[in-house]
Amino acid sequence: MQVTRKTNESKIEVRLDPAGLGPDYKKGLYTPCAMLSHMLEHIAYRSGIGIVVDCRYDDGFSLPHVLFEDLGITLGRAFAELLERQRAQGAYGFGDAVGIIDEAYARAAFSFESRALFVFDSQVAIPALCEDCKSEDLHTFLDGFCQGARCTLHLDVCKGENAHHIWEACYRAVGSALERVFAKNPTRAGKTSGVAGAIPFEIKV
């Protein structure tokens, strides 16, 4: 599964391999931000889905907020397209999980049913900066993911002090929840995430 998105601000290519992670999967995750690349690593590792990302600014443009959002949108679209192709095999399309590292603890819950919404809540103060990026940009990436995937994600930070640990717990939870989204149950073959079923639109001009 490959999705490419190019604007006047960014050039992004995403490839997903449902067969799993390759031995050098980390080498396939390129972004201009080390922390963002590290978070993508956790999504891949926890979901069990091979991810290759080539994410670059367009010439003369370098606003991190835009890049985080654009990559989130593109990766979300790729995951949504992959899910649609796996529903026939009984992929659930919804799932939840927790992520922990040291003192930090987070919970994530997904539902892929064409309703784009990111709900974030934190019981702790999150430092504004995290390694080589802003915390708000790591939030923006996940919001963009929900836009691209047209999915709902609830993400709750329950505990944490260190910014890196807090966000790593979040992205571990997200990756683990995605693993459950793509888990397969033969009795659910062809079923959608919600009881409403597929939601077509009829448009007349």
Of 195, 64, 201, the C-alpha closest to 130 is 64
Tens of pLDDT, residues 10-34? 999 999 999 999 888 999 999 999 9
Q: What is the mean pLDDT of residues 161-180?
A: 98
pLDDT of residue 1: 86
Residue 197, C-beta contacts closer than 8 angstroms, at least 6 positions apart: none
Residue 123 pLDDT > 90: yes
Written in H, E and C, the secondary structure of the chain is CEEEEECCCEEEEEEEECCCCCCCHHHHEECCCHHHHHHHHHHHHHHCCEEEEEEEECCCCCCHHHHHHHHHHHHHHHHHHHHHHHHHHCECCEEEEEEEECCEEEEEEEECCCCCEEEEEECCCCCCEECCEEHHHHHHHHHHHHHHHCCEEEEEEEECCCHHHHHHHHHHHHHHHHHHHCCECHHHCCCCCCCCCCCCCCCCC
**CATH number attached to the domain at 2-187:** 3.30.230.40
Tens of pLDDT, residues 77-113? 999 999 999 999 999 999 999 999 999 999 999 999 9
Q: Using an 8 Å Cβ cutoff, are 29 and 44 in contact?
A: yes
- Of all residues in the chain, what percent carry a pLDDT higher than 70? 100
Instruction: Name 84's bridge partners.
Output: none
Global pTM reads 0.94
All structural domains of the chain with their residue ranges? 2-187
Residue 159 pLDDT > 90: yes
- Of all residues in the chain, what percent carry a pLDDT higher than 90? 87
Q: Using an 8 Å Cβ cutoff, are 34 and 28 in contact?
A: no
- Per the prediction, the chain carries an average pLDDT of 95
